[in-house]
Amino acid sequence: MKQPVFAVTSGEPAGIGPDICLDLAFARLPCRCAVLGDKNLLRARAEALGKSVVLRDFDPESGGAAYGELEVLHIPAAEAVEAGRLNPANAAYVLQLLDTALAGISDGIFDGIVTAPLHKGIINDARASTGFFQRTHRISGGKKAARGRL
């Protein structure tokens, strides 16, 4: 049986989201996780945290990542990222992660979406969004999204 594939958006690039995503390389899960994010950012964060993670390009047809590997769908950040320093110029990048994940659901590439933490305030300050669940509702044609916490 084919494993379900989840899109994992890496969230606010200056926040903890990219760090959490790196830990997926060492998790044994009953699904595949494709991290949507900036590969260069993930590489820099892995180096800063002393984590030895192999970043592989996400390929929907492959068998998935081995232990210590992370499948990444590279989406470049709009501007350079400094951990802990919010930048409104990257708000559109965060929304692009979400939109790409939603499009992947529509296209049958992903079976679900997991979002790393994002900063709604910085997105609102950049006037880039009406909200994630509103976007999901609009893009999905009105289908309901389930939400929960781990």
pLDDT of residue 131: 62
Closest of 59, 62, 64 to residue 30, by C-alpha: 64
Q: For residue range 7-65, list pLDDT tens digits in order.
A: 999 999 999 999 999 999 999 999 999 999 999 999 999 999 999 999 999 999 998 99
Domains (range + CATH), the chain: 5-139 (3.40.718.10)
Per DSSP, the three-state class of 82 is: strand
- Answer for the pair 82, 110: CB distance below 8 angstroms, yes or no: no
CA angle 32, 40, 100 (to 5 degrees): 50
Q: How far is CA 88 from CA 27, 78, 101, 119, in A?
A: 32, 10, 21, 10
pTM: 0.86
